Amino acid sequence: MELRLDGKRAVITAGAAGIGRVTLQTMVAAGAKAVTCDVDQAAIDRLRGEIPTVPAIVADAAEPADIDRLFALANEQLGGLDILINNAGIAGPTAPIEEIAPDEWRRTIEVNLTSQYLCARRAVPLLRAAGGGSIVNLSSAAGRFGYPLRTPYAASKWAVVGLSKSLAIELGRDQIRVNAICPGMVEGERIDKVIRAKAEARGVPFEEMREAYLEKSSMRQSIPPQDVAHMILFLCSDAGRLVSGQVIGVDANVEYLR
């Protein structure tokens, strides 16, 4: 089965690197038109060189004014909206709760959760006008388990699940489907930083901690970002037209987090 998004219009946050970049490439290859943003100017510059047909701006997804600019760009360039991919997120601090500064806590919640609210409130009127559509929110395996030393991250990702399930009910009669994706140990620079920080906090070598992360999944595998992008593509395509309110793990079956 070939999954296509011909003529679909999409906004993807943090689309210049990691899962967002691979998802953007996958959706454009499937026929979608898209706009994106990222906080990293260098990443935006690289993306513009690789996919010059995708309008991209430097923006902080946790800032309301930046999201207003992003959706103004989407209206101007796309003339409407069919898909929202809430991908922006940060790892947050790795530390015991008493050592986490309030600013670190707030920033993690703002980027991982509040950004999704900011985008949804701008996207929903456009999706209604289009007769329906798809919202995919990025949560995490940490949205299903307790995660010691990563409390702001886990709290924000659990909240994304609640947001997604609530919006799926709220928007269902508008034919707007809402789902959450829970990636596991996605390969790339970001997870390496997370593992290194946890290794330092626990006082163990990086490779030992990496193996410990792999041990948490039944299949003992890390996740290529393309696998996450393929699930997002399915949910946004006609093949996923009746899938809503779901929390879907792309994680080789993570069993626990410690």
The four Cα atoms 186, 160, 257, 12 give a dihedral, to 10 degrees, of 10
Max Cα distance, the chain (Å)? 54
Q: Which residues contact 167 (CB under 8 A, 6 or more apart)?
A: 120, 135, 176, 178
Alpha-carbon span 91 to 153, nearest angstrom: 6
As annotated, the active-site residues are 153
Tokens matching residue 191: 């997870």
Environment class of 172 (CB within 10 Å of its CB; exposed 0-12, middle 13-18, buried 19+): middle
First to last CA, the chain: 38
